[in-house]
Amino acid sequence: MVPVLEEVACLLASGRSGALATLVKSRGSVPMSHRAKLLVRDDGTQEGTIGGGCLEADVWQEARRAMKRSACRLLHFHLNHDAAAETGLTCGGNVDIFLEPLHPGDSDIYAHLAALCQENGRAVLGTVIAAPDGGLAPLGAHFLIEGAAFREGIELPPAVTSSLLESARDCQALDRSALCAFDPRTGEPVPAWERAEGAVRIFLDPFLPDPALFLFGGGHVGYFTAKLARMAGFHVTVIDDRPDFADPARFPDANACVVAPFDSAVASLPIDASSYIVIVTRGHRHDGIVLEQVLRTPARYIGMIGSRRKAKVLFDDLSGKGFTPEDLARIRTPVGLDIGADTPEEVALSIAAELVRCRRTGQ
């Protein structure tokens, strides 16, 4: 999605026009990511995807019309299984797609957002996708939330901004978009989106850095976990106390390799509340050393390889050092989803799957 955003910023900076299609809601089985975007440039070329097949062809046509009319539209596509087969899609479902024309000088919010993303910043882009009678804000208007404050864009009533800030926090916590609805007269939130006819509707789209995965251990499981986690969109740092095992040549897919003793490595790492930690060192002793340190960090996810028997020994030791049951409950061990994994490749697959589940669902 960031490549699409960068292309939008480049397009407008070069003085060209286009249209941006964004998936804002889906119901049932649909053939695209919940964060799908499609940029259609003024010459007809495109970047990204909104699902492929005839649906994408229809959106492309509507995008060309939007450029000529300079008008935003909220498109609704209702696809049962028969319609899906007719249009070339592989599944049924309903989707709502917001289409906005892009013209140089309209707004520099996309340039600001692209620059923020390049610096690994965090922000939530808000877009007004329904504005009956122009209430509260015009259709297609944007704003940008950074941290706990509005930084760019339109001004909104205090009741609206307070509700949006709370929703934006949830968006960033789960890295998922959200829809909000407000009464156009009072600005009060409308809780039931499906019954929000006549309401002002706002789409919140979070833009976050790739989540950081700190992978302790450069052995076979670590090797395959790094590869799969990077493919799944994590920023991977491999840590090992052996230079040959924390070597960029061994881990070409990793973003960074750190050679450091396990008993002091954690202190030098930028682990925060959005970080993921996987412990797959070469032995129980090293696992325990790392585990004791990372439990003192606010990491979002801590997973450790090994048997339940090994976990009990380590947990008893940690309890003796003052760690509480709540502390120990943070640890996922044996790490990974239970898929009956046997080989290093399969264990890595189970770990990557659990990382994705935590990232997308919070579980």
Nearest alpha-carbon partner for 52 in 87, 99, 101, 22 = 87
More confident residue, 158 or 134: 158
Instruction: Name the pLDDT band for 196 (thresholds 50, 70, 90).
Output: low
pLDDT level of residue 107 (50, 70, 90 thresholds) = low
Calculate mean pLDDT across residues 220-243: 96
289, 344: one domain: yes
Domain identity same for 28 and 161 = no
* pLDDT for 328 beyond 80: yes
254 plus 333 within the same structural domain: yes
pLDDT higher than threshold 60 for residue 82:
no
Among 102, 137, 170, the domain boundary falls at 102
Same domain, 357 and 240: yes
Would the pLDDT of 180 be above 60? yes
Please write the tens of the pLDDT for every residue from 253-276. Answer: 999 999 999 999 999 999 998 899
Query: What's the whole-number mean pLDDT along residues 211-237?
Result: 96
84, 152: one domain = no
Q: Please tell me whether residues 78 and 124 are part of one structural domain.
A: no
Structure tokens at 241: 């106390």
Q: Which residue has the higher pLDDT, 191 or 338?
A: 338
pLDDT at residue number 137: 85
Higher pLDDT: 275 or 85? It is 275
Domain that holds residue 244: 212-361
Are residues 251 and 325 part of one domain? Answer: yes
pLDDT at position 144, please?
A: 93
- Kindly state the average pLDDT of the residues 222-243: 96
pLDDT at 258: 97
Looking at the fold, whether 199 and 243 belong to one and the same domain comes out as no
Average pLDDT over residues 327-354: 95
Tokens of 140: 């297609």
Beta bridge pairs of residue 143? 126, 153
Segment 184-207 mean pLDDT? 80
Res 90: pLDDT: 47
State the pLDDT confidence band at 11, using cuts at 50, 70 and 90: very high
Kindly state whether residues 216 and 357 are assigned to the same domain. Answer: yes
pLDDT higher than threshold 70 for residue 295: yes
CA distances from residue 19 to 63, 217, 327 in whole angstroms, order as listed: 6, 46, 49
Query: Would you state the pLDDT for residue 93?
Result: 72
Per-residue confidence (pLDDT) for residue 106, from 0 to 100: 66
| Helix, strand or coil, per DSSP, at residue 360 | helix
Instruction: Give the domain-ending residue among 145, 179, 207.
Output: 207
Residues 138 and 167 in one domain: yes
Q: How far apart are the first and last CA of the chain?
A: 24
pLDDT for residue 262 = 95
Pairing of strands 149-153, 142-146: antiparallel
Furthest C-alpha separation in the chain: 71
Rounded to whole angstroms, the Cα distance separating 306 from 316 reads 15
Assess whether 25 and 121 both reside in one domain.
Answer: no
Of 152, 184, 207, which marks where a domain is finished? 207
Q: What is the pLDDT of residue 348?
A: 97
What mean pLDDT value characterizes the chain?
88
CATH number at residue 343: 3.40.50.720
Confidence class of residue 222 from pLDDT cuts 50, 70 and 90? very high
Q: Buried b vs exposed e over 200-231: b needs ≥16 C-beta within 10 Å? A: bbbbbbbbbeebbbbbbbbbebbbbbbbbbbe
State whether 347 and 245 are in the same domain.
yes
Domain total for the chain?
3
